[in-house]
Amino acid sequence: MGYGWAIGTTPGGTDVQPFWGTPEIDKESNHSLLLTPGMTYYVTVRAYNGHGLTTEVTSDGVTIDTTPPPVPAGLVAQPGNTIVTLVWNDVPNDTVAGYNVYMNANGWMKINLTLVPPGPPSPSYTATGLTNGVQYFFAVTAVDLAGNEGPFSAAVSATPGVTLPAPAYLHMAQASSVQVVLNWMPVDFPGIAGYKVYRSETAGGPYTQISPGLLANTTYTDLNVIASTFYYYVVRAQDSAGHESPNSNEVAAYPKDLAAPIITFPSGPKKTNDATPTVAGTVAPPEFPGMTTNIFVYANGVAVCTAMATDENTWSVGSANYSLPLSDGTYAFTARARDSYGNISPLSFSVTIAVDMVPPAAPTGLSALGMSNAVHLQWLPNTDLDLLGYNVYRKAPNESEFVKLNELPVVGTQYRDDGVVNGSQYRYRITAVDNAVNESD
């Protein structure tokens, strides 16, 4: 009794390895064969008994695969307390069996005992037992079903440690020419030992610690300030092991004398048909970006609208700012300002604005005299005391609407239209305009 085995590129074939006689064993190998990657091979085993009878069995095709899988991408490392969690993108290859994870502290070494399975979701691995404060480097490789391992991914680094929450709602409680008072919310996290206050004269830092040691309370008064200087503050929490949190939100302060702002009210129409007239002015001294000066506008002593000054310290109010529209009448407009520190200015000088929404009477007695390539118009004078002038409208034979002919109001009661053609019929209408720009029918 014995066995024989052969290898071929077709089922039952022997073109690669003719039958090789083997006495009474159930496995055999031949390491001298040179197989071609990508080629499929079949193994046939023949059994012999003592009477010369044989039987054969042929394996399924086995394809030689020596191509490694692609490089994994998107590796991200998230540090934690003595751990680093790694996440990366799956390799787009349906023959990937899993991934190996390598770490380099003092040389690269594989740290996973078994292959990390592919996704979904994205494959991940957590390296444990690390030392806080030590930087580690990580890379991953893909391994396919044939056991081929691909190249290393791009390496990433991470330093494990305790991540403290940042203090929240840092805000300026008070500022004057000699101090800035800061408050913030306490950090609710085990092991918090205190807080440190940092300051910069540039938004976004770099910051320098100004508080002495650790603060037990959630308030700090900065007494080392210079009036009319910009300061930017952040706060960090620290635990008993010396770990610091990220920065809190940044807050800006501008220590200054507690003087009221000075408001001007230089512009506004003398007369208008707008029940919410636009008025504008300036305010000084200037606020810096991120702080606001509120403007309060009064008509005949009654508050009618509010606004905020821009960073350029100008202000303007219009229809969107009014609480109620004004009625016809004459109003003395005044304004006052309140800055970010609560200082309130005196009332500004007043600007008188007349609100007139009543149009003048329509002109009467319109007559037209046709001339050669011209039409002479004449009408009776309007008796309104605030009359500014007249508008002249014409409709030509090919036009569906009346078109205004004059750019500025006509002062007299006559108008010559030289833009006509002999033999065509034209229609005219005249309206009156007052000095509030109201126009009659």
- From the list 37, 65, 82, 68, the residue with the least C-alpha distance to 153 is 68
- What's the pLDDT at 102? 97
The span from the CA of 279 to the CA of 62, in Å, is 88
Alpha-carbon Rg for the chain, nearest whole angstrom, is 45
* 332-353 pLDDT tens trace: 999 998 877 678 888 888 888 9
Give me the chain's average pLDDT, please.
Answer: 87
The pair of structure tokens assigned to 413 is: 């009661």
The pair of structure tokens assigned to 2 is: 């014995």
The span from the CA of 256 to the CA of 253, in Å, is 9
Cis peptide before 261 (omega within 30 of 0): no
- What's the pLDDT at 28? 56
The span from the CA of 263 to the CA of 308, in Å, is 12
The span from the CA of 49 to the CA of 24, in Å, is 10
The sign of the dihedral angle between the CA atoms of 243, 247, 251, 257 is positive
Instruction: Tell me the one-letter amino acid at 205.
Output: G
Looking only at the bridges linking them, the beta strands covering 414-417 and 17-22 are unpaired
* 150-191 pLDDT tens trace: 999 999 998 887 778 999 999 988 777 788 999 999 999 888
Q: What is the pLDDT along the chain (441 residues), one digit of tens a residue?
A: 677 778 888 888 888 778 776 655 555 565 567 777 778 888 888 877 767 677 777 778 777 778 889 999 999 998 888 899 999 999 987 789 999 999 997 889 999 999 999 988 889 999 999 988 888 999 999 999 888 899 999 999 988 877 789 999 999 887 777 889 999 999 998 889 999 999 999 999 999 999 998 999 999 999 999 877 899 999 999 988 788 899 999 999 988 766 778 888 766 678 888 899 988 888 876 555 556 788 999 999 999 999 888 766 788 888 888 988 999 999 999 999 887 767 888 888 888 899 998 999 999 999 999 999 999 999 999 999 889 999 999 999 989 999 999 999 999 999 999 999 999 999 999 999 998 889 998
pTM given for the model: 0.41
* 280-324 pLDDT tens trace: 888 876 555 556 788 999 999 999 999 888 766 788 888 888 988
Q: How many helices (H) and strands (E) does the chain have?
A: 0, 33
- From the list 59, 45, 39, 34, the residue with the least C-alpha distance to 6 is 45
Q: Classify 367 as helix, strand or coil.
A: strand
Query: Tokens 């205004």 map to which residue?
Result: 404
